Amino acid sequence: MIPSNISSVAFYILQPFFGFIVGALFYWVFRKVRARLQARRGPPWYQTFADVTKLLFKESITPLIADKTIFFLAPMLAFTGYLVVLLQLPVGNVYPPFAGDLIVILIFLTLPGVAVILGGSGSGSPYGAIGSSRETALLVASEIPFIISALVTGIQVKSMNILRIVDAQNQFGPMAFHYPLATAAFFMCMLLKLGRKPFDIPDAEVEIIAGPYTEYSGSLLGIFEISNALRWFVVPALAVNLFFAGGLANLLVFLILCLIVVVVISFLDAQNSRYRIDQAFTFLLTWATLLAVIDLVRASTGWLQW
Amino acid sequence: MPRGIVSKLRQKSPWVMHVPCGGCNGCDIEVVAALTPLYDLERFGALQKGSPRHADILAVTGPVTAQVKERLKRVYALVPNPKIVMAIGSCAISGEVFADGYAFAGPLDQIIPVDIYVPGCPPRPEAIIHGVAQALTRL
Amino acid sequence: MVNRQTITESIRGFISPKTLAYPSQPSPPPEGFRGKPEFDSKKCVGCGACAQTCPMGAISLNDGLERSIRIWYGKCSFCGRCQDVCPELAIRLTSEYELAVFDKNKASTDIEIDFESCSSCGKKFFPAPQLERSFERMKPILEKRNISNEELRILDRVCPSCRERPEEFSKRKLFLLNFG
Amino acid sequence: MPVALPIGPYHPALKENTYFRLEVEGERIVNADLKIGYNHRGIEWLAARRTYHQDIFLCERVCGICSNAHSTCFCQTVEDLAHIEVPDRARYLRVIVAELERLHSHFLWFGVAMHVIGFDTAFMHMWKDRETIMRMIESITGKRVNHGFNTIGGTRRDFTPSILKSIEDGVNTIEKAADRIRNTVTRDSLVRKRALDIGYLSGEDAKRISVVGPTARASAINVDIRRDDPYAAYSELDWNVIVRDGGDALARVVVRLLEIYESIRVIRQALKSLPSGPISSDISQLEFPVSEACDRVEAPRGELFYFMKSNGTNIPERVKIRTPSYMNNAALTTMLIGNSTADAPLIIASIDPCYSCTDRVAIVSAKNGEITYATMEELSRKKTH
């Protein structure tokens, strides 16, 4: 399905809005499910929109000792990272005009993490600095299983083009069926990418207040909130594209699959306590990496395939 | 965006920072209890935030003691506008039983401007929710 | 990691959240709850025992042309001592607790008690209902001794400074001698 | 080179203000310092300027979580001072309310501990169960916190039959909730992993620092005022003192967990053998001889001590209070060193510190307006315009 010029322009204009709205709703779903699992009622559906609007129209204070440039650029950088990934993701049967490459997507997905690290250390607060150092450690630890498990799909179809990966699954069934271990590893890293428990130590409230975000306020925090909404669409959408695509490839089914992923993540978040930084590091580098590597070996050698 | 909609949405997303100012702990635990399942402030979009930078509402409890007075002023200065200060509990309003003491530096509204007063020693979580709902009409 | 206990508890919570529908539906406190104290203007005699005993100093007396007693909820701890000591049961702690106000001075309740004027100099000197109540209490005692209530009434309507005047003093002395 | 990481005075892990200065190398704590005094309100000074009856309500406000322990201890000291006999029924009522308060305090603590290790779902569930106890306390005493239940010579309220019934039902509910806590805490591997072997306090250290209450009992020190110096009706009831020798945060968790069951046992027995009769003795002829008295009570956090000196008037000459957290806080510096910063909030929480208690005793130069601890790096606050 190769879109014409007009539809490709329409795609580039609409996709960010679509991503933001759906992401905001997914984030609300997460909060709602978590609240219900905690025997509470939870926020109303428009919560994320209210939060973002409020923050954008609120005063933004820059700390005196913060590095101004980095402090301002970090939220933009995070936003850009997710935006670039978003514009390369196929959404159900709507394919992007420029075929997304898995490597590019994975690299751009680290950009928000880097942005948070920069923003945290540039803000001049000790909490920001500690949050940044924790974020760095987790980023390093998570990239390995994350990239390996994502690459499993690419290696299987012998192409790094995400459209090929989706198409291949349309023919042979979802990757999650063929590579459950890589899927599990991907899920663990996804919890981290979304900043959820047990890997939410970079902004653990009781330890370091809000970690890298501690000094952000008003509109700059609002931009972080927008990128947070985007990531709640991008990350589950990537997971669905890589591991659960196939069969009925239309928009609705795609969104439902994303929703299921979001609910599973909410459930895992609600059922876990927080790993200490060393525990998270060890967990990611042993178990998650091990699972990913097993499937990588299976994908590249063709052993034990079904 | 029209101001009306912004202020409506502001009322739907009050982020609360709890600032204990030397109280007896009673109000503090009732503020926390207001977040827990039976009362659930998150229904109204309220979240408890640890950083004053993120806060819209400062929930101040306790008589302001001499030691925390300056810190309270600084926390207040850190909160971006528009902001609301809630004086929770009789201590924050008047100093209550500690008002005659030498360590009492309050009451709160002589140190920072207060928008709403919630009497009670401590107020029930319902009363705190009522206070938050009242305070939001000022945003 | 995930444990079964939390999962079952979570699922139970998912199906039936425990949250009260508070602002839309009232959440009445249990019986015996100590909420906002209120005066019963019919019963209060203005003795001021509440103000004297209040551990927080939330009840203030203000004597002008009439005695005004004010409970400031901003200082009240809702301990109920005033209710305990009130001889006329005129203060009652209601079950009201939603007291949030924008102006802290508005969180209060007042009661005004008339003063009795001195029959001699006309000065207002004592809460009239309290005086009346003390006559009532004295009544059985006086009746036992066959002394008319009115006599005491006339004597007690004199303010303390007038009582020191010689003619008043002798009247009182006579009465007290009579009383034994 | 060690970096100073401040915790407080305003910090989400601390529901009150206090200040920890942790010197960290990477994530490891090499030195810890605790500055208290932010909550200093001058309660002892105030107590010497109010009547005994007014002081009951003042002392309740030393701490909102263990307010009943404070008022019990104050009233018992006054009763010792003025030689007042407390009726049997009042002694049992005091035990029941004290144990209910211990239950609510321990539930609260479990919730906070879970919140600190990031297990918010468990925190919410535990606080949901805690509301059962709060409702019960509210219907018994008339208030959720700062109950105002005790008075000199007895209690201010009696249990009605409907309240007795509701306590019996409520205790059953709480027992189920306690089972849930036990399952969550002992079966969740992540909770174990976070609490095991952190914040270790050896028995010798515990003795040297004189920690009290569950913190001491978790370090194999067998001390409990309810048994060692029985007050109210504790000597007539059958229950156990929970002692563990782990010395770490997990041991403190276990001690509190098992204490919940003991409290439930005490409440059940007290309800069963609740004598009838008056709830307070006649104190209309109350007189205070010139003398001194002191009394101890086992508050949820440990031994609470009151000393009182009277001068014959209805105002005490001197009231001295020593709260359990004051002793336990001293142990924190020992516990913190060598652990990871990520564990610091859990270690701090594991002694169940209560700064509103502690800071009443702290020696602060607040009188002349001098703030002693002004030199610390004040996080972001200094950096604002």
pLDDT tier at D364, thresholds 50, 70, 90: very low
Question: Angle at the Cα of D236 (from D231 to D240), degrees rounded to 5?
Answer: 85
Compare CB distances from D183 to C5, C79, C81 and report the shortest one's residue: C5
What is the predicted pLDDT for the residue at A304? 67
Residue C23 forms contact with B (CB below 8 Å)? yes
What is the predicted pLDDT for the residue at A275? 81
What is the predicted pLDDT for the residue at A28? 92
Q: Is the pLDDT of residue D26 over 80?
A: no
Helix (H) or strand (E) holding C150, with range, is helix C149-156
- Average of pLDDT values for C122-147? 81
Residue D139 forms contact with B (CB below 8 Å)? no
Question: Angle at the Cα of D218 (from D215 to D221), degrees rounded to 5?
Answer: 90
Compare CB distances from B124 to D40, D123, D144 and report the shortest one's residue: D144
* Percent of chain D whose predicted confidence (pLDDT) is above 90: 2
Rounded to 5 degrees, what are φ and ψ at B107? -70, 170
Instruction: Show which of residues 124-183 on chain D sit within 8 Å of chain A, judged by CB atoms.
Output: 124-125, 128
Helix, strand, coil proportions of chain D in percent (round to 5)?
A: 50, 15, 35
For residue B95, give every residue at least 6 positions away whose Cβ sits within 8 Å of its Cβ, in sequence order, or none.
B63, B101, B104, B106, B107, C75
Name the residue of chain C whose CA is nearest to A36's CA. Answer: C14
Cα(D223)–Cα(D240) distance, integer angstroms: 11
Give the residue among B27, B31, B22, B26 at the shortest CA–CA distance from B99: B22
Residue C139 CA to its chain's centroid (Å): 24
Name the residue of chain D whose CA is nearest to C52's CA. Answer: D54
- Mean pLDDT of chain A, nearest integer: 83
What is the predicted pLDDT for the residue at C180? 62
A163 exposure class (CB count in 10 Å sphere: 0-12, 13-18, 19+): middle
Residue D132 forms contact with B (CB below 8 Å)? no
Q: Is the pLDDT of residue D368 over 60?
A: no
- Average of pLDDT values for D133-138? 88
Cα(D39)–Cα(D25) distance, integer angstroms: 30
Angstroms from A104 CA to nearest CA on chain C: 33
Cα(A163)–Cα(C165) distance, integer angstroms: 111
Helix (H) or strand (E) holding D384, with range, is none
Q: Are A136 and A117 in contact (CB under 8 A)?
A: yes
Kindly report each contact of residues A107-111 with a partner whose C-beta sits within 8 Å and lies 24 or more positions away, as own/partner.
Answer: A108/A81, A108/A84, A109/A81, A109/A82, A109/A85, A109/A193, A109/A234, A109/A235, A109/A238, A110/A81, A110/A139, A110/A143, A111/A77, A111/A78, A111/A80, A111/A81, A111/A84
Rounded to 5 degrees, what are φ and ψ at D87? -60, 155
3-state class of B52 per DSSP? helix
Cα(D290)–Cα(D296) distance, integer angstroms: 21
Positive or negative, the CA dihedral A135, A139, A142, A146 is positive
Q: How far is CA A187 from CA A91, A227, A241, D80, D289, in A?
A: 19, 20, 13, 65, 73
**For D179-191, how does the pLDDT look when each residue is reduced to its tens digit (9 = 90+)?**
888 888 777 777 7
Taking the CB of residue A59, how many other CB atoms lie within 10 A of it? 12
Q: Is the pLDDT of residue D377 over 80?
A: no
Taking the CB of residue C128, how many other CB atoms lie within 10 A of it? 18
Quote the radius of gyration of chain B (alpha carbons, Å). Answer: 14
- Average of pLDDT values for B103-119? 87
Do the Cβ atoms of B119 and C18 come within 8 Å? no
Name the residue of chain B whose CA is nearest to C108's CA. Answer: B119
The crossing angle, in degrees rounded to 10, of helices C4-15 and A251-271 is 120
Query: Is residue D324 reached through a cis peptide bond, with omega within 30 degrees of 0 on the bond before it?
Result: no
3-state secondary structure chain A: CCCCHHHHHHHHHHHHHHHHHHHHHHHHHHHHHHHHHCCCCCCCCCHHHHHHHHHHCCCCCCCCCCCHHHHHHHHHHHHHHHHHHHCCCCECCECCCCCCEHHHHHHHHHHHHHHHHHHHHHCCCHHHHHHHHHHHHHHHHHHHHHHHHHHHHHHHHCCCEHHHHHHHHHHHCCHHHHCHHHHHHHHHHHHHHCCCCCCCHHHCHHHHCCHHHCCCCHHHHHHHHHHHHHHHHHHHHHHHHHHHCCCCCCHHHHHHHHHHHHHHHHHHHHHCCCCCHHHHHHHHHHHHHHHHHHHHHHHHHCCCCC
Token pair belonging to D85: 């006999």
Q: Is the pLDDT of residue D137 over 70?
A: yes
- Between chain A and chain C, the number of residue pairs with CB atoms below 8 A apart is 36
Which residues on D lie below 8 Å from C4 (Cβ)?
Answer: 183, 187
- Average of pLDDT values for D333-354? 79
Q: Would you list the DSSP string of D73-105?
A: HHHHHHHHHHT-PPPHHHHHHHHHHHHHHHHHH
Instruction: Show which of residues 14-33 on chain C sit within 8 Å of chain D, judged by CB atoms.
Output: 18, 29-33
> Which of these CATH numbers, 3.40.50.12280, 2.60.120.10, 3.90.1200.10, 3.20.20.70, describes B3-136?
3.40.50.12280
Kindly report each contact of residues A9-13 with a partner whose C-beta sits within 8 Å and lies 24 or more positions away, as own/partner.
Answer: A11/A94, A11/A96, A11/A97, A12/A87, A12/A97
Which residues on C lie below 8 Å from B115 (Cβ)?
Answer: 102
Angstroms from D67 CA to nearest CA on chain C: 13
Question: Domains in chain C, ordered, with CATH?
Answer: 32-114 (3.30.70.3270), 118-175 (no CATH)
Residue B82 forms contact with A (CB below 8 Å)? yes
Q: Is the pLDDT of residue D25 over 80?
A: no
- D157: which strand partners? none
Q: Per mean pLDDT, which range of A289-298, C161-170, D62-71, D218-227 is the poorest? A: C161-170
Q: Are A125 and A215 in contact (CB under 8 A)?
A: yes
Question: Domains in chain D, ordered, with CATH?
Answer: 3-377 (1.10.645.10)
pLDDT tier at D3, thresholds 50, 70, 90: low
Cα(B83)–Cα(B86) distance, integer angstroms: 10
Residues (pLDDT < 50) of chain A are 1
Angstroms from A258 CA to nearest CA on chain C: 21
First to last CA, chain A: 30
Query: Is residue D9 reached through a cis peptide bond, with omega within 30 degrees of 0 on the bond before it?
Result: yes
What is the predicted pLDDT for the residue at C74? 87
Domains of chain B, by residue range, sit at 3-136
Quote the radius of gyration of chain C (alpha carbons, Å). Answer: 26
Q: Please, what's the b/e burial string for C140-160 (b: 16 or more CB within 10 A of its CB; e: otherwise)?
A: eebeeeebeeeebeebbbbbe
Question: Angle at the Cα of D268 (from D263 to D270), degrees rounded to 5?
Answer: 95
Give the residue among A273, C63, C117, B89 at the shortest CA–CA distance from D345: A273
Q: How far is CA D41 from CA B83, B98, D99, in A?
A: 28, 7, 28
- Average of pLDDT values for C136-159? 77
| Interface mutation vs chain B, best among A32, A36, A58, most B CBs within 10 Å | A58
pLDDT tier at C170, thresholds 50, 70, 90: confident
